[in-house]
Amino acid sequence: MNAFSHTEFLAEVSKSSKSAYMLVTVDPDLADGNRGVIDNALSMLDADAREKLEVEGGAIVVFEDIDDAIACYYSVERKLPTLANIDLFLSVFYEGYNQLNICQSPELRSIIAMETPSHATM
């Protein structure tokens, strides 16, 4: 039996795949009633992924290639200055590495820095 955190799991899965994986989470309490914020900030994601974020607080999105994941990442990053704090966490994994991160929560940033082998920026 193996146990992984979300980020460790995605790093492991992405090692043997040509797909890119994006973990997106929000604080459901902060996002509650902010569907417009989620829809605006994460407009590059499909409706199913945005619904999972609003209802469940998280989603794992699989992209056919890294270019689509990077385009989504930069789309969200451009909107960050106007985005209300919903404790957004977005992380892109490709070829076994955490490539890119957006993290609104300082507490989560420190946890991720300790557990994730990466080439990432926060």
Q: Give residue-wise pLDDT tens across range 59-104.
A: 999 999 999 999 999 998 888 877 777 888 899 999 999 898 888 7
CB neighbours of residue 52 within 10 Å? 16
The pLDDT assigned to 19 comes to 94
The pLDDT assigned to 29 comes to 80
Cβ neighbors of 22 (< 8 A, separation 6 or more) are 60, 61, 62, 63, 69, 72, 73, 90, 91, 92, 93
Q: What is the pTM of this model?
A: 0.79
What tens digit of pLDDT does each residue of 18-61 get? 999 999 988 878 777 667 777 777 888 888 988 888 888 889 99
The pLDDT assigned to 33 comes to 67
Q: What is the second-level CATH architecture of the domain 6-115?
A: 2-Layer Sandwich (3.30)
Tokens read off for 6: 């979300």
Tokens read off for 24: 């997106």
Helices 106-115 and 6-15: crossing angle, nearest 10°? 50
Q: What are the extents of the domains in the chain? A: 6-115
